[in-house]
Amino acid sequence: MGRLEGKYALITGGTSGIGFETARQFIAEGAIVAITGRNQAALLAAKEVLGNVQIINSDAGDIHQQRALSEQLAQLWPRLDVLNVNAGDVTHHSLEEWDESSYDRLMNTNLKGPFFLIQALLPMLSNPSSVIVCGSVSAHIGLPQSSVYAASKAAILSLARTLSGELKAKGIRVNGLSPGPTETPALSKLGNGASDQPLRDEIRALVPVGRLGSTLELAKAAVFLASDESAFMVGSELLMDGGVKNI
Query: pLDDT by residue (tens digit) across 195-224?
Result: 567 766 777 888 999 889 999 999 999 999
Residue 144 included in any domain: yes
H or E stretch including 36? strand 32-37
Query: What local confidence, expressed as pLDDT, does residue 199 receive?
Result: 63
Query: What local confidence, expressed as pLDDT, does residue 188 receive?
Result: 64
Return all residues near 57 (Cβ < 8 A) that are at least 6 apart: 36, 37, 38, 40, 43
Residue 143 included in any domain: yes
Positions annotated as catalytic residues are 149
Residue 84: name the closest of 180, 142, 156, 166 by CA: 156
Task: Check which CATH number belongs to the domain holding 189 and give it.
Answer: 3.40.50.720
Residue 245 included in any domain: no
What are the residue ranges of helices labelled H in the chain? 17-28, 40-50, 63-76, 100-107, 113-121, 147-167, 197-205, 215-226
Query: What is the rounded CA–CA span in Å between residue 226 and residue 228?
Result: 7
Residue 198 included in any domain: yes
Average pLDDT score over residue span 188-195: 54
- Give the number of domains in the chain: 1
Query: What is the rounded CA–CA span in Å between residue 103 and residue 185?
Result: 21
Q: Is 192 helix (H, G, I), strand (E, B) or coil?
A: coil
Residue 194 burial (10 A CB sphere; 0-12, 13-18, 19+) = exposed
The reply to whether omega before 128 is within 30° of 0 (cis) is yes
Domain, as residue range, for 95: 8-240
Query: What is the rounded CA–CA span in Å between residue 239 and residue 247?
Result: 13
Residue 1 included in any domain: no
- Mean confidence (pLDDT) of the chain: 94
Query: What local confidence, expressed as pLDDT, does residue 194 receive?
Result: 47
pLDDT in tens, 110-126: 999 999 999 999 999 99
Query: What is the rounded CA–CA span in Å between residue 46 and residue 82?
Result: 20
Query: What is the rounded CA–CA span in Å between residue 31 and residue 26?
Result: 5
Confidence category of residue 192, pLDDT binned at 50, 70, 90: low
Residue 3 included in any domain: no
Residue 224 included in any domain: yes
pLDDT tops 60 at residue 71: yes
Proportion of the chain above pLDDT 90, given as a percent = 88
* Contact indicator for 18, 215 with CB cutoff of 8 Å: yes
Residue 159: name the closest of 117, 129, 221 by CA: 117
Residue 2 included in any domain: no
Residue 81: name the closest of 179, 3, 158, 153 by CA: 3
